Amino acid sequence: MSKCLSSLTRKSALLSLTCLFVLAICAWTQDESLAPGINESFKRQPGLSIKQFDFTNRDLNQQKEILDACELKPGMHVADIGAGSGVHVRLFSEKVSPAGKVYAVDIVQEFLDHIEATCREKDIKNVRCVLGSATSCNLEPSSVDVVFTCDTYHHFEYPFKMMDSIRNALRPNGKFVILDFKDKSNHVRADSKTVIEEITKSGFHMVDSRDFRQMFFIARFAVDK
């Protein structure tokens, strides 16, 4: 019996090492952007983008569905990657208060400046802004319980590298929640099936997925650690 257990342990360890090796290869070999130039308009006209984000995210029912999917509790640490104007950041802030923390991550500094100014106006003190890059969310390892992206994944130019950084930022039993377009288009490089396959290859397993309104899907993943 002990020999069988020992053999199973070795096989399990070998499988884990193999999975980690495959993940590393996916991230390291992605040298070319899969969506070149997709974020340039945000950088050219950040003020216009902020107004658009605020307008399109006012649906209270939609906001409730997002909060329900994230299953946030007081004391949790959550990151909104692609935080934009901070609509979801402010929602999350209230849910994880008083001891929890929200990381607003974006690659556009003007968006982060807007979030900081808005939080000051509303006396929100548990939000931290983080300037990300095209390849990393720039969060500390094992620093968050939940990572959320809304209309953001298809803006990842280097999705495998970005997902590797997200995976590293999540704590054991951490969760990744994505809301994005279901179908491929001139603007969206991949449909939901492809996106789910990419995230799964990045060291996650899907918990559930469903349609979200007409054009979108929302899916939840647990990190494999």
Task: Specify the CATH number for the domain of residue 181.
Answer: 3.40.50.150
- The token pair at 185 is 């288009």
Domain-embedded: residue 163: yes
Q: What is the model's pLDDT at position 39?
A: 82
Q: What are phi and psi of 36, to 5 degrees?
A: -60, 135
Res. 224: pLDDT tops 60: yes
In a domain, 5, yes or no: no
Greater pLDDT, 118 or 11: 118
Q: How many domains is the chain built from? A: 1
- Give me the DSSP letters along 159-209: HHHHHHHHHHHEEEEEEEEEEEESS--SS--S-HHHHHHHHHHTTEEEEEE
Tell me: the pLDDT tens digits for 120-146?
A: 999 999 999 999 999 999 999 999 999
Contacts of 113 (CB under 8 A, 6+ apart): none
Render 47-116 in DSSP notation, one character per residue: HHHHHHHHHHT--HHHHHHHHHHHT--TT-EEEEET-TTSHHHHHHHHHHTTT-EEEEEES-HHHHHHHH
Q: Output the pLDDT for position 8.
A: 47
Is 175 among the domain residues?
A: yes
- Confidence class for position 43, pLDDT limits 50, 70, 90: confident
Does residue 24 sit within a domain?
Answer: no
Residue 10 located in a structural domain: no
Q: How far is residue 16's CA from residue 204's CA, in Å, rounded to a whole number? A: 13
In this structure, what token pair is assigned to residue 78?
């959550």
Q: Among all chains, which residue has been given the structure tokens 């290859």?
A: 201
**Residue scoring higher pLDDT (14 or 89):** 89
Choice between 3 and 203, residue whose per-residue pLDDT is larger: 203
| Confidence band for 30, pLDDT divided at 50, 70 and 90 | low
The separation between the first and the last C-alpha atoms of the chain, rounded to the nearest angstrom, is 27
Query: Domain range spanning residue 200?
Result: 32-223
Asked whether residue 4 is assigned to any structural domain, the reply reads no
